[in-house]
């Protein structure tokens, strides 16, 4: 889905509106003098796409604007987002107004009432740009938390302000902050398309399989460890049985088998009277049975919901395909142009029809309805994978609790049976018999654990299979392939600019977030390249190559790129003429500016209408194509904030 900027709107304190409309899928140029508000546009869009604080510079804009708003073009719909200006000295405002539709006009200031939270705005924009469930998990041994890519990460590739575009150290927006830089490194593979879209669900299944394996291994380990102390424990029990009169003092046993042979008869002997009953044990057993019934009911509900969710996922995909086919068939209406045709007679024999043919308008209406329904399914699709993962985790947890409940019930029943046999004058003997019985049951389990060993082996095989499916090897191979393709695009673009190392193979180093030129003398990173012209040029061509890739692969990254002052290496503010002309520049500077702007325009035309570039600059080229791209010139009193807002 194309996500671009249709309009930037400012509201004055008395309700007047300043609109700055943009053309979708084209190069949009705003040229003008310094201190007219060009650089504030990036901060306004950044604020209206969910940034926590407002970074619009203190001054005229902060004092004279009450609300900032952006109208986004999202496929066939529009999203209007307005945020209250926090005002001078304040960092942010919680007031957010959102409106969705197809032909939105800026509402009056009186209509701007908070109806969204910042978190809700982020989630809505994530869905609008097409970001699915995702999660990056750091490699083992690293302490940082898993990362979910959002539109805030995607916008890193959509902004280049004037302090970043000529930097030799920072390639992407705000990556001077180490935390943001790490987030870009972690999220870029997802945005490039190197990560499997079903990875989150597979990771959840892998987590559940690992938990089950750990449980089985712990159980097997406990049984195995018990065997090493078996002889000591068995002898101690035999001595205790002798001391309470259960075994003749003359009985001797030196091996585990002999000791167990002496203890085994005691476990089945009736040493306690049948009158002895412990009520609390019966109560505990009743509670366990009630708990088991509740767990069974809850597990059945979860299983039912799982089946319904899986069915919904299947039907949702089927509906999308069927609706897409119906929309394609209805789109045939575009072949008919005569909306006024006679629908009551046969177009071939002119005989009167019992049922008139549907009018073109009716078919078009059906197409529009189908289109809206399909769009609703695509943009408002629930996060089914995350729900499936949660339900599967609940199912595993409930099954584990049922197993534990069964074990506790069995233990309680055994205890009740022993206690029911005890007599008041044989309490001590009964306790010893209980110990012996418990020991013998443990000994039997440790002697026959082959079934548990098989379960552990099967669990390990399942973990290995799932780990292979979500392994990083395939993702890393795809990532390297994609970066190589992007590097070739960068190299091709560099041929159009007079840059140092332009004949070398260029590549994007995702680990260091920089551009590297592979030369015969070795790799040369951006930081070791000289001159502002090179830094600006490599910034621009890197972002153009990335956006071309994003558009070719239909990746969930906004389809706009805002470049602030890319000509500054050749046309700094102090050289700005009254009309922005570059005629007074040296020939090599004029040529460099023209080549840079021409490359931007050429790439936009090449992938139109998927990419929108907003170019903010002092320079104003005397070229027809450039003049056609200019949407406003901010000179001679014309600025972002109208003068009559200021001179009140």
Half-sphere exposure of 538 (CA within 13 A, CB side): 35
Q: Collapse the DSSP code of 123 into the 3-class scheme (helix H, G, I; strand E, B; otherwise coil) and give the result.
A: helix
The residue-averaged pLDDT of 440-445 equals 62
Shared-domain flag, residues 453 and 585: no
Shared-domain flag, residues 403 and 446: no
Shared-domain flag, residues 272 and 341: no
Question: CA-to-CA distance for 549 and 483, rounded, in angstroms?
Answer: 10
Q: How confident is the model at residue 381 (pLDDT cuts 50, 70, 90)?
A: low
Buried b (16+ CB within 10 A) or exposed e, 38-57: bbbbbbbbbbbbbbeebbbe
Shared-domain flag, residues 429 and 412: no
Shared-domain flag, residues 27 and 121: yes
Asked if 545 and 515 touch (Cβ cutoff 8 Å), the reply is no
Give the global pTM: 0.64
Half-sphere exposure of 499 (CA within 13 A, CB side): 31
Shared-domain flag, residues 153 and 239: no
Q: What value does the mean pLDDT of the chain take?
A: 83
Shared-domain flag, residues 156 and 7: yes
Q: Which letter does DSSP use for residue 576 in this model?
A: -
Shared-domain flag, residues 161 and 300: no
Structure tokens at 222: 């406990």
The residue-averaged pLDDT of 139-143 equals 65
Enumerate helices (H) and strands (E) in the chain, giving the number of each: 18, 13
Query: What is the CB neighbour count within 10 angstroms for residue 219?
Result: 15
Which residue reads 């009985």 in tokens?
251
Shared-domain flag, residues 556 and 626: yes
Shared-domain flag, residues 531 and 595: yes
User: Domain range spanning residue 409?
Assistant: 277-421
Query: What is the CB neighbour count within 10 angstroms for residue 508?
Result: 22
The lowest-confidence range among 125-129, 383-387, 584-588 is 584-588
473-493 pLDDT tens trace: 678 888 999 999 999 999 999
DSSP string covering 197-226, please?
A: TTHHHHHHHHHHHHHHHHHHHHHHHHHHHH
Shared-domain flag, residues 447 and 591: no
Asked if 424 and 273 touch (Cβ cutoff 8 Å), the reply is yes
305-354 pLDDT tens trace: 888 888 877 877 776 677 667 767 666 555 444 445 555 666 567 677 67
Element (H, E) at 645: helix 643-646
Structure tokens at 448: 């026959």
| CB contact set of 407 (below 8 Å; sequence gap of 6+) | none
Which residue reads 């970066």 in tokens?
483
The total domain count for the chain is 3
Q: What are phi and psi of 332, to 5 degrees?
A: -60, -10
Shared-domain flag, residues 539 and 618: yes
Q: Taking 80 as the threshold, does the pLDDT of residue 69 lie above it?
A: yes
| CB contact set of 278 (below 8 Å; sequence gap of 6+) | 416, 419
């Amino acid at each position: 889905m194309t996500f671009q900027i249709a309009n930037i709107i400012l509201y004055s304190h008395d309700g007047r509106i300043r609109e700055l409309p943009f053309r979708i899928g084209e190069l949009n140029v705003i040229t003008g003098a310094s201190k007219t508000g060009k650089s504030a546009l990036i901060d306004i869009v950044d604020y209206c796409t969910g940034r926590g604080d407002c970074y619009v510079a203190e001054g005229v804009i902060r004092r004279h604007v009450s609300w900032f708003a952006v109208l986004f073009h999202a496929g066939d719909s529009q999203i209007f987002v307005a945020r209250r200006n926090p005002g001078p000295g304040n960092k942010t405002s919680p007031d957010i107004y959102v409106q969705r539709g197809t032909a939105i006009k800026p509402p009056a200031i009186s209509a701007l009432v908070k109806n969204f939270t910042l978190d809700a705005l982020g989630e809505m924009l994530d869905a609008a740009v097409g970001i699915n469930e995702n999660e990056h998990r750091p490699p083992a041994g690293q302490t940082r938390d898993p990362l979910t890519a959002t539109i805030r990460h995607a916008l890193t590739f959509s902004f280049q302000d004037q302090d970043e575009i000529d930097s030799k150290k920072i390639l992407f927006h705000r990556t001077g902050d180490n935390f943001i830089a790490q987030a870009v490194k972690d999220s870029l593979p997802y945005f490039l398309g190197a990560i499997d879209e079903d990875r989150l669900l597979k990771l959840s299944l892998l987590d559940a399989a690992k938990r089950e394996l750990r449980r089985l291994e712990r159980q097997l380990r406990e049984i195995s460890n018990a065997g090493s102390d078996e002889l000591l424990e068995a002898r101690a029990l035999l001595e205790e049985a002798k001391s309470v009169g259960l075994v003749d003092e003359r009985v001797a046993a030196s091996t585990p088998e002999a000791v167990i042979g002496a203890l085994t008869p005691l476990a089945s002997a009736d040493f306690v009277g049948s009158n002895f009953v412990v009520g609390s044990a019966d109560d505990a057993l009743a509670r366990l049975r009630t708990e088991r019934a509740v767990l069974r009911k809850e597990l059945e509900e979860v299983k039912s919901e799982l089946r319904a969710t899986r069915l919904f996922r299947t039907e949702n995909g089927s509906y999308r395909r069927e609706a897409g086919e119906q929309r394609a068939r209805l789109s045939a209406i575009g072949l008919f142009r005569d909306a006024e045709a006679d629908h009551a007679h046969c177009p071939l024999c002119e005989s009167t029809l019992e049922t008139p043919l549907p009018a073109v308008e009716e078919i078009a209406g059906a197409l529009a309805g189908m289109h809206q329904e399909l769009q609703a399914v695509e943009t408002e699709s629930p996060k089914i994978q995350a729900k499936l993962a949660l339900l599967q985790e609940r199912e595993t947890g409930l099954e584990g609790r049922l197993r534990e409940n069964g074990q506790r019930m069995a233990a309680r029943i055994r205890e009740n049976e022993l206690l029911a046999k005890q007599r008041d004058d044989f309490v001590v003997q009964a306790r010893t018999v209980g110990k012996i019985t418990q020991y013998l049951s443990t000994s039997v389990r440790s002697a026959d654990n082959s079934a548990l060993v098989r379960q552990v082996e099967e669990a390990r095989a399942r973990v290995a299979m799932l780990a292979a499916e979500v392994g990083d090897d395939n993702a890393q191979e795809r990532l390297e392939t994609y970066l190589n393709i992007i590097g070739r695009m960068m190299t091709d673009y560099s041929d159009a600019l007079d840059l140092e190392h332009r004949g070398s193979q260029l590549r994007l180093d995702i680990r260091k977030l920089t551009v590297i030129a592979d030369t015969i003398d070795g790799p040369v990173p951006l930081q070791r390249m000289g001159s502002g012209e090179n830094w600006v040029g490599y910034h621009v061509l890197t972002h153009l190559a990335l956006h071309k890739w994003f558009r070719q692969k239909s990746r969930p990254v906004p389809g706009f790129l805002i470049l602030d002052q890319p000509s500054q290496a050749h046309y700094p503010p102090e050289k700005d003429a009254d009309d922005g002309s570059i005629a007074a520049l040296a020939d090599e500077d004029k040529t460099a500016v023209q080549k840079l702007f021409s490359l931007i325009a050429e790439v936009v035309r090449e992938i139109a209408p998927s990419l929108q570039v907003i170019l903010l600059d002092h320079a104003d080229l005397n070229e027809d194509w450039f003049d056609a791209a200019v949407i406003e010139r901010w000179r001679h009193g014309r600025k972002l904030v109208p003068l009559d807002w200021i001179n009140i």
